[in-house]
Amino acid sequence: MRKRALLIGCQTGGLTGVHADVELMGDVLAPFGFETTPLTGERATRHGIEDAYRRLIADSRPGDAALVYYSGHGGRARNPAPAGDLSVPAWLPYLCPQDLGGTGFRGLLAASLSRYQEQLTRRTANVTTVLDCCFSGRMARGRSLPKAHPRPGETPWEEVRGAWEAERAVSGGVGAPAADANPLAVRLVACAPDQSAYETDVPGLGRHGVLTASLARLLRRPGSSRLTWRQLIGQLRPAVAHLEPFQRPDVEGPADRFLFDVRETSGSGVLPVLAAGHGVFIDAAELFTVEEGDVYALVGPGGEVRAPLATAVVERVTGGLARLRPVAGAPAFPPLPEGTEAHPLRVSLGRRAVAVVPAGHPDRERTARALMDSAPVRIVRAEEPVMATVVLSEDGIGLLDELGEPLLDRPRARTAEALELTGADLRRFARAAQVRELASGTGPAALDGGLDLGCARLLPNGSERPLERSGEHLFRGDQVVVRLRNRGTARRFVSVFDIGLRGTISLLTTSERSGVGVGPGECYELYRHPRTHELAGVTLFWPDGLPEGSPRPGTFLAVVTDRPQDLSRLAQEGVRHTPEARDSSLQRLLGDLLNGVRDGHAPAWADGGNQVVRYRVERFEAYLHPERRADPRF
C-alpha cells in the first residue's frame, strides 16, 4: 500500500498564503506516510492540474490511499436563464488555475473534477479531497481576504457554459445511475455554497488559509490518526470559527471512516454533545428521538465506548434540548473536549410490539426474553398490531413484517448467533418505525410551510408522470424524481431519507449532510447526473435476500429545518442492494455545507436565547412491487 497526495496551490488574485499552505500540508501529511507532489506557480495551470490528476489516477492501485488538496480561489458562474429552467445548473462552480486570466475560459469545472474523482475511486476506494476555496465572496473583514474569484463577472456565461457542454460531451451520456455523492471519497470543504473561505495571518504560523491552518494543527496532535472524519469536523469547525466566525467547513462522504483509511466505525444513534456553562446537552432531541431515561456513553475524539469520559442519562427534554446528568452515583462530568459524542447504551425508541409464535413452542419464553434484552421490543399477549412476528419452527427462526410477509429467504438455525441476528433485525425495524413516524415540530419547534415536496416517475422518453404523495404502486427499476421547491421567503435546509423495505434508513442528500440549502424561489432535485446534468431520479430496487411476493410499503421522508442540522445519524445500514455501478459527484462538492455540530462559541441558548431547531416533516409513501414494470411505456 502506498499513500500519494497531490497538493495544488494557485496563488492568484491577491492571495499570498497559498504556497505556504501547500508547504504546510506537505509537512503535516509526511508523518501519515504520504508521498507528496506539490503543484504551484506556473506548474499549476489548468493543463498542469489535469495532467497531474491523471498521473495520480494511473499510479494508484487497489488498497492505496490518494489525496487531492487545493488551495486558491474558487469561482462560480450564475445561469442568467429564468429560475424555472432546470436543463442547465443554476450555478457552474470551478477552481481558478494559475492561468485563469488567459484567453477564453480556463477554469477547472466541478464537473471535470467529478469525472477525475470517479476515475480515481475506480482505482482505489481510499480517496480524500480537501478544498480550501470558495465560490461566492463576501466583503473581507479586517486582515482576512476571501478566497473567491476576485472578478466573478469577468468571464461571460456563454464561455463557461460552452466549457460545461464540452465536459458533458466527454462524459458521454448518463451512464451509471446518478447519486448525490461518491460513496468512496471523503470531501473536506472550507465553507458553505453561499460563504467565503478566507486566508489570514494565523498566530504562530504566518499567512495561511483558515481551513488549512486549522486542519494542520489538528492533524499534528498526538492520536489524530485515531479520529474519524466526523470527529475531526467536530473539532475543526470551532477552530476555524475562532479565526473566522462566519466560515464553517464541513465533511461530506463516508464521514465515519478513520482519517485516510477505509475502516469505519458504526455511527447509528451517535449524537454530538453540546457543553455549555450551565450543563451538557444533546440538541434537536425530538429529531433524534431522544427520550428521558436514555443512557449514553460520552466519548471524546479518538476515544472508545468501553472507556468513556462519563456515562450520562437524559434528565429531561425541554425546548428541543435533552439535558444530560451523570448516572446515579457517578461524579460530576469532567471537562468535555470539543467533538465529544454521545454513544447510545440504553435507549427507549419506544418499545415496539413483537409476536413470538407459536405460543406453545418450548423455546418461546427463552426466545422472547433474549429478544427483549437485545432490542427495544415488548412481546404481545393480546390482539394488537405488531411491528414484526418471530416464527419458531423445526426449521429454525423465521421473521415476518407487519403485513405478515417473510423477511428472510430461509429460517435461521436456532442458535445464539441466530438470536443475535434476529435482535439486530428488530432493533433496525424499531428505529425505522420511529423515523417513519417522526412528526413535525410543535410549539417553539414548529416550522411553517413554504417548501413543497413533489414526486414524479421518470419515463423512458424523459418526460415525467406526477405521483400522489401516498398510495402509488411502483416497480423495481422505476426512477422517481424527488423535487423540493422553496416558495417561502427564507432559506431552508432539507434532508431526504429512504426508509427501505428491510428497515434500512438511507440518507439520499449525502452531498450536504446538514441538509441541502434551498433558497427562496430555488428548486432542488434528486437526482441529476453529476456530469451531464441529465435527470436520472432515484432508482428503486428490491433488496438482496428479501423474498419476492406481495408489494411492500416504502417511504421517502424529507425533514425541513430552519438552519443546518446534521441528521445523518438517523441513517442505519441493513441488507443493502448491491449496485451494478457507482457514480461520483463533485458537481456539488465545492458547494458543500454546514454541519449540525455547533461552532466552538457558546450557543445562543446558553445565554437564554431561543435557538430551538424548527422543523417540518414531509413524506412520500408508495408500494413497491418486486418485479419490473411490464411495459416501460406506461
What length does the chain have?
Answer: 634
Q: What is the pTM of this model?
A: 0.69
Cα separation, 531 vs 337, whole angstroms: 41
Cα dihedral 173→176→178→181 (10° resolution): -110
Residue 9, pLDDT > 70, answer: yes
Nearest to 513 by CA among 189, 195, 228: 189
Residues 325 and 281: beta-carbon distance below 8 Å? no
Query: What's the confidence (pLDDT) of residue 547?
Result: 94
- Contact between residue 572 and residue 505 where contact means Cβ atoms under 8 Å apart: yes
Q: Is 141 exposed, middle or buried (0-12, 13-18, 19+ CB in 10 A)?
A: middle
- The amino acid sitting at 21 is D
DSSP state, 459?
P
pLDDT in tens, 478-523: 999 999 999 999 999 999 999 999 899 999 988 777 888 899 998 9
Mode of pairing for the β-strands spanning 451-458 and 479-486: antiparallel
Residue by residue, DSSP assigns 169-195 as HHHTS--SPP-SS-TTEEEEESS-TTS
pLDDT score of 540: 92
The tens digit of pLDDT for each residue in 274-295 reads 888 789 999 888 778 788 888 9
Three-class DSSP category at 486:
strand
| Residues 184 and 3: beta-carbon distance below 8 Å | no
Question: Across residues 616-631, what is the average pLDDT?
Answer: 89
- Distance between CA 414 and CA 401 in Å, rounded? 19
pLDDT given for residue 253 in this prediction? 85
Q: Which residue in the block uniquely carries the three cell numbers 432542488?
A: 524
Q: CB–CB of 585/438 below 8 Å?
A: no
Specify the range with the lowest mean pLDDT, choosing from 130-144, 365-379, 608-622: 130-144
- pLDDT of 570-623, one tens digit each? 887 754 444 433 333 333 333 322 222 222 222 332 333 346 889 999 999 999
Residue pair 181/110 in contact (Cβ under 8 Å)? The answer is no
- Written as one letter, the residue type at 588 is R
Contacting residues for 31 by C-beta, under 8 A, at least 6 apart: none
For 576, list phi and psi in degrees, rounded to 5: -110, 165
With a cut of 70, say whether residue 367 has pLDDT above it.
yes
Query: Residue 246 pLDDT more than 80?
Result: no
For residues 402 and 34, which has the higher predicted lDDT (pLDDT)? 34
Q: State which H helix or E strand residue 252 sits in.
A: strand 250-252
- 62-100 tens-digit pLDDT: 999 999 999 999 888 888 875 556 678 878 889 999 998
How many whole angstroms from its chain centre is CA 373? 32
SS3 240: helix
102 and 159 in contact (C-beta within 8 Å)? no
Radius of gyration of the chain (CA): 25
User: Residue 266: exposed, middle, or buried by beta-carbon count in 10 A (0-12, 13-18, 19+)?
Assistant: exposed
Residue 568 has pLDDT above 60, yes or no: yes
Residue 95 · residue 9 · CB < 8 Å: no
Q: What is the DSSP letter of 605?
A: G
| Mean pLDDT calculated for residue range 464-473 | 91
Residues 381, 384, 386: CA angle, nearest 5 degrees = 90
Written as nine digits, the cell of 299 is: 466519548
Query: In degrees, to the nearest 5, what angle opens at C-alpha 471 toward C-alphas 468 and 477?
Result: 85
- Helix%, strand%, coil% for the chain, nearest 5: 20, 30, 50
Q: What is the mean pLDDT of residues 171-178?
A: 50
For 200, the grid coordinates are 489570514
Short-list 112, 149, 114, 156, CA closest to 134: 149
Question: Sorting pLDDT into bands at 50, 70 and 90, what band is 153?
Answer: low
Please tell me the predicted confidence (pLDDT) of residue 49.
97
Inter-residue contact 545 to 500 (CB < 8 Å): no
Number of H helices, E strands in the chain: 8, 34
pLDDT for 57 equals 97
Axis crossing angle, helix 110-123 with helix 157-171, rounded to the nearest 10: 20
Report the candidate in 129, 211, 162 with the shortest Cα–Cα distance to residue 590.
129
State the maximum Cα–Cα separation within the chain, in Å, rounded to a whole number: 83
**Above pLDDT 70, what percent of the chain?**
86
Identify the pLDDT of residue 278. Answer: 84
Angle, vertex CA 296, rays to CA 291 and CA 300, nearest 5: 135
Name residue, grid cell 499570498: 16
Lowest-pLDDT range of 290-304, 331-345, 465-479, 574-588:
574-588
Across 141-151, average pLDDT: 61
Q: Can you tell me the mean pLDDT for 437-466? A: 88
Question: Rounded distance, CA 289 to CA 272, Å?
Answer: 14
Query: How far is 599 from 191, CA to CA, in rounded Å?
Result: 13
Mean pLDDT of 519-543: 85
Which stretch of 36-50, 299-313, 371-385, 456-470 has the lowest confidence by average pLDDT?
Answer: 371-385
Q: What pLDDT score was predicted for residue 205?
A: 93
Instruction: Please tell me the predicted confidence (pLDDT) of residue 602.
Output: 28
- Residue 299 backbone phi and psi in degrees, to 5: -120, 125
All cell numbers assigned to 284: 434537536
Report whether pLDDT(450) > 90.
Answer: no
Judged by phi (left if over 0) then psi (alpha if -120 to 50, else beta), residue 319 lies in: left
pLDDT per residue as tens digits for the range 208-243: 999 999 999 999 988 888 888 988 988 898 888 888
The one-letter amino acid code at 271 reads: L
Instruction: Look at residue 384 in the predicted model and tell me its pLDDT.
Output: 75
- pLDDT at residue 576, rounded to an integer: 41
Would the pLDDT of 565 be above 50?
yes
Per-residue model confidence (pLDDT) at position 480: 95
Question: Mean of the per-residue pLDDT values for the chain?
Answer: 84
pLDDT of residue 180: 65
- 3-class secondary structure per residue, 265-326: CCCCCCEECEEECCEEEECCCCCCCCCCCCEEEEECCCCCCCCCCEEEEEEEEECCEEEEEE
Output the pLDDT for position 268. 65
Query: What are the two backbone dihedrals, phi and then psi, of residue 57, each rounded to the nearest 5 degrees?
Result: -60, -45
